[in-house]
Structure 1
């Protein structure tokens, strides 16, 4: 596995692969890798000739300086995991390499970014779209792989690909969970032992929400019951729980049969913010 630290080196390598007729898979990450990331890398290796994994904690998508400062950074441990998973090249740039000057670009994703993460993290998706655009231009992948846990991010990137005509296929993989249901996340490393025991309540709340949807209860009643379950533990501070359309991500007021819905949640456990979601069809 080759480790590349400059944009020029990555671009030169991927252009050579393209000239040689090799298919390129890209897995963008912010590091602190877990099994969810590694499954994306393995899938990319199975479907492409070469795989680029990027590790870059992108400052422009953080609106909380402490969150950026405390985000786990484990480049040596990550590199040791990547080669056996099928990574061909690890792109490990500095902030100065990715942003030689402050970015002035501004994206507008309309209603897609006005709800949930976009509403609670102003500027977050502008930072995501900026760095993902840079990675797409530098690596020119045939396929790019993302996890479903970041559902709204995937929707934003799908719109980005369509609007800017990126010549690639976006591949989304289901959320990978711990044995107790907690969605795997790099931020889980920051949970205290007590908070880690409480964190699976987020998935339990999603399962309760799904059960109530299938019972054809009213949306307002479902949201009240899910909030009650979560707020029963004072260690959990709910930021939002929403029932949304899987494509538009807009809130649903009335549930109808054969409708594809997503239950989406964000909550704080002490100073760690976690998100999760569950997608299914209303029966």
Structure 2
């Protein structure tokens, strides 16, 4: 009798422990999942704001029809937002003056505003959203020592488990995929830009053979630039027979990588 009672108590305790673990796991999942959903929703709102501004710009600049049905001012018939055309971000910049451009890669979730904080706090947006509130996901930002007009610069973002931000950036570790998604768009308030991927690198921060790509930014001499491009190609994990023929601006996208402790994954592209 006592043994049966003891077994029942043990079973009840095990059930309670399992239930507590389940509740805790659900709680942990919710406190991560809900904020991430809210953060992605805010980025979607920013996308809609930018799209609305460009629709209005298109309507304002689209030529009117003449009496003969043909467009007047035909030279201005190309509207903003079409392929290769400058986009407008006045409304986005009004929300946050640290806005530097919009990063976009076709057929991926990467479609985000990019910011640049003062050099006194270059990682300000590591855990802040576009509205400067706390955010675990953060906002893609240009790193220290460079800006969007430098010879080379880095855009950093987290590798989120839900695939958001740069969560899928390491798809570029596969040559075929990289070739199919070779072009990266980065539209600044002043111009439409396209960059062509030519290398992807895995490295380890603090490792014996660390590739310190973040030190190769800013203004580079011709010698420094050529050595940097060569190093990128030599250690690239993908095989792409393409690189800048002369000195072209280099954009790097950087995120965490789990191939090793303190790992980083970097995609390098030159402006075309």
The alignment's TM-score, normalised by the length of structure 1, stands at 0.28
Structure with the larger helix share: 1
Q: Which has the higher contact order (CA 8 A, sep 6+)?
A: 1
Which has more radius of gyration?
2
The alignment's TM-score, normalised by the length of structure 2, stands at 0.29
